[in-house]
Amino acid sequence: MNISTNDLKNGMALNLPEGLMTVVEFQHVKPGKGGAFVRTKLKNYRTGAVLEKTFRADEKVDLAMIDKREMQYLYREGEDFVFMDNETYDQINVGSKQLGDAVNFLKEGDTVTLPQYQGEVVGVDLPANVELSVTQTEPGVQGDRVSGARKSATLETGLVVQVPLFIEIGEKLRVDTRSGEYITRVG
């Protein structure tokens, strides 16, 4: 389905030669001389790469219909992650390549939104932060109270983050899914 670049809105998905993109930002520009144009910032659904692209005003672009479904992550099967649709209870296997960095933040039982384009999963919409347990870290050395000192901690998904020295095995941490950084200890 084609739409005009004059009708772009944030969050719209477009099927462009550069790939499947979502509109992050757009601006209509009418210079004193020459034709009007639309300056956009687009994010690739599959890779997360951000691209700036300029279109002529009223240029036709291919609108992509993205089907977003809430799915529960059930378990891992080899390289695949098995999800269940929360409405239909259908199960689907999604390759770790399609999920990208999201595999670092998914634990069994989590509910996420899986955007699909023409039946293919094209990424995963994660919450801004998740809670994960520490499975491995060095014990904090007594008396080592250097301000801001950090150590590595491995979380239940295999993700390694830098944490303050007082964090111990078994504690739950809140981690930012955009940067992969430790935010705080949870309860």
Query: What is the secondary structure of 110-124 as a DSSP string?
Result: -EEEEEEETTEE---
φ/ψ (deg, to 5) at 53: -145, 140
pLDDT higher than threshold 70 for residue 5: yes
Query: Based on the structure, what is the number of domains in the chain?
Result: 3
Model confidence over 100-114: pLDDT tens digits? 889 999 999 999 999
Q: Are residues 136 and 155 in the same domain?
A: yes
In 3-state terms, what secondary structure has residue 101?
Answer: helix
Q: 171: domain CATH number? A: 2.40.50.140
- Domain boundary residue, one of 30, 46, 62: 62
Tell me the mean pLDDT in the region 124-143: 86
Q: Are residues 103 and 137 in the same domain?
A: no
| pLDDT computed for residue 143 by the predictor | 58
Q: Are residues 58 and 72 in the same domain?
A: no
Q: Are residues 42 and 74 in the same domain?
A: no
Q: Are residues 81 and 102 in the same domain?
A: yes
Residue 92 β-bridge partners:
83
Q: For residues 55 and 67, is the Cβ–Cβ distance under 8 A?
A: no
Q: Are residues 88 and 48 in the same domain?
A: no
| Beta carbons within 10 angstroms of residue 106's beta carbon | 21
Model confidence over 6-65: pLDDT tens digits? 999 998 999 999 999 999 999 999 988 888 999 999 998 877 789 999 999 999 999 999
Which comes out higher in pLDDT, residue 47 or 152? 152
Q: 26: domain CATH number? A: 2.30.30.30
Radius of gyration, alpha carbons of the chain:
21
Model confidence over 67-97: pLDDT tens digits? 999 999 999 999 999 999 999 999 999 998 8
Q: Are residues 48 and 77 in the same domain?
A: no
- Domain boundary residue, one of 97, 121, 145: 121
| pLDDT computed for residue 33 by the predictor | 86
pLDDT higher than threshold 80 for residue 147: no
Q: Are residues 116 and 135 in the same domain?
A: no
In 3-state terms, what secondary structure has residue 21?
Answer: strand
pLDDT higher than threshold 60 for residue 144: no
Instruction: Estimate to the nearest angstrom the gap between the alpha carbon of 171 and the chain centroid.
Output: 25
| pLDDT computed for residue 101 by the predictor | 87
- Domain boundary residue, one of 121, 138, 163: 121
Q: Are residues 79 and 108 in the same domain?
A: yes
| pLDDT computed for residue 49 by the predictor | 86
Question: What is the span of the domain harbouring residue 157?
Answer: 129-186
Count of residues in the chain: 187
Q: For residues 13 and 62, is the Cβ–Cβ distance under 8 A?
A: no
